[in-house]
Structure 1
Amino acid sequence: MTKFVPPIKRVETAKGHHYKDGNGHRIPGVTTILGDGVPKPALINWAANSTAEAAVDRWDELTELQPSARLKELQNARYAKSDKAKKRGTEVHGYGERLVKGEKVTGIPDELRGHVEAYATFLDKFEVDPILVEATIVNYRYGYAGTLDLICELTDEKGARRTLLLDIKTNEKGIFGETALQLAAYRYAEFYLDADGNELPMIPVEGCGAILVNSDGAQLIPCTSDENTFKSFRIAYAMRDIVNGSRDLVGAPVPPQDPNPSTARIVYEESSK
């Protein structure tokens, strides 16, 4: 029995986007599922280091503030760093979408020029021909949706033409393992939406990978996103449900039958010196 019903709709908001089914129920997104269902111990150290770096780098500025304002600035330091990285990734995705479609790209900010040039060179080197770009996908059976970056045909290192599902990443630390789970979820979706919003059967691919883009170049990073990886994604989904629903497993305090018993059970003894 499926959790949701067609048709799916991607809803744009001021803070991003989400997905709704034919009954108006929100369908969890792939990245949201992985964000809630996959432990990220490295983020603890990253958050601590980001806060410490802000304290050291902005020492003189922070000493001019009241203690409460200083505390707030340090508490928000890691979010400012994360927001900057997300903004860069979003902008590179936007330019990448236009480039792969063969559109002319102008007005590139200086700080992103290297990324965009690297991606353009990647498209030329691998002779990329797009099949599906920035498309919404859905799996009604398992209850999730998402937006894939690219399905394309390209020339691999052996000169063979292959159909691959790829995701653009701009992470300075490289490709995280959960990217393979993300791609598996896209790969084993049931349908995708075409330009007119029609649901069509998901396009089969030969493999999956990430395009790691930075200012120095772009690399094709293969990912094992097979049926076993898809099972791991579904486990992460189940863990998300456990985490989000675990509070409902704890009930309210149980009152005693007699709230005012007559017998005290604790006897205090004074120690002798």
Structure 2
Amino acid sequence: MTGQQQRFARRNHGTGHGYTLDGHEIPGVTTIIGLLDKPALVNWAAEQSASYAVENWGRLSELPLMERAKQIRNARFAKNRQATTKGTRIHAMAERLQAGEPVESIDVPLTVESQVQAVARFLDDWQMQPVCAETPLCNTGYRYGGTLDSIVTSPRLGTILMDWKTGKGVYDETALQLAAYRAADLTLAEQVTVGPRGGRKTSWVEQPMPEVDGCYVAHVLTDSIELHPVTADEQVLAAFLYLREVYDLWTTRTGWRFRDTPGYAPTVGAPIYPEDKPVKEQDDE
């Protein structure tokens, strides 16, 4: 596709990112899957707030009531940031190891040293060689984007799409994620050009999505890796595409962030009773 106008792009903004196709924003795979109800997360958040309150009862009791409530309410976000930071570091180290860097040459933080050593052993044991890593992708027909963790080859498994998970468990939603990635038809490959004075310029080249023989999750534990096969077949893809349709039919219609788009059409109107209610008061609510 060299020489053609680039259709797909990933744009980073702050700590997040988004995707565009043909100049229009498209939803990410994880955003679409986020439509699913996750009661376990609600329970987890409640447990984090309760634990924080119990463990910090003395200090919190000296604070004003509203500040006390704010710190308890936000406790889960601090815990989640710690886990996210650790997971991001492990992902970054795994990417470098897959690219062939020896673990001895990587400055590994002590907080993830045992996990990185486990990743290195795992890659050696399965003789995994990289095809691509942290690769943006999209499906141009169903118009969604995403970023896969890695595609590798292994003598025992062939060419596989692999996702690294660093949380407490591996959940069925991962199958939706990998099925969506597997069905992509366009990826972005990083291309680095070195100038005559040693300057480096990075650009992105569109390429077809590689075919894979299977999908797997590498679950990173404290000092070992569990490799799980994942069913990411046509039925699982169909379930994801139903969610994709719900996103278009409902989220873009009622979501506040879409209020300036033509498709925004909330289903609940302003109150019509009592009839003497001031218009301004209706708008404020």
Q: TM-score, normalised by structure 1?
A: 0.85
Corresponding residue for residue 167 of structure 1? 163
- The alpha-carbon deviation at position 64 of structure 1 amounts to 2.2
CA distance in 1, matches of 2:60, 2:180: 44
236-245 vs 67-76, which moves further: 236-245
Corresponding residue for residue 93 of structure 1? 91
The correspondence of residues 18-167 of structure 1 with structure 2, limited to 5 A, is: 18-23=18-23, 25-35=24-34, 37-104=35-102, 105-155=105-155, 160-167=156-163
CA distance in 2, matches of 1:125, 1:198: 32
Q: Would you say 1:240 and 2:247 are equivalent positions?
A: yes
- The alpha-carbon deviation at position 119 of structure 1 amounts to 0.6
* CA contact 1:136–1:192 (8 Å) conserved in 2: yes
Q: Structure 1 residues 64 and 76 mapped into 2: Cα distance closer, same or farther (>3 Å)?
A: same
**Larger C-alpha radius of gyration, 1 or 2?**
1
Task: Considering Cα pairs closer than 8 Å and 6+ residues apart, tell me whether 1 or 2 has the greater RCO.
Answer: 1
Task: Give the number of aligned pairs.
Answer: 247
Corresponding residue for residue 190 of structure 1? 185
- The alpha-carbon deviation at position 7 of structure 1 amounts to 1.2
* CA contact 1:137–1:146 (8 Å) conserved in 2: yes
- The alpha-carbon deviation at position 26 of structure 1 amounts to 1.8
Moved over 6 A (4+): none
1:31-81 per-residue CA deviation (whole Å, 9 max, x = no partner) reads 11112x111011111111111111111112212211111111001011111
* CA contact 2:126–2:154 (8 Å) conserved in 1: yes
Aligned-residue identity in percent: 40
RMSD: 2.0
CA distance in 1, matches of 2:246, 2:42: 20
* CA contact 1:33–1:236 (8 Å) conserved in 2: yes
* CA contact 2:21–2:140 (8 Å) conserved in 1: no
CA distance in 1, matches of 2:33, 2:6: 23
Q: Structure 1 residues 253 and 6 mapped into 2: Cα distance closer, same or farther (>3 Å)?
A: farther
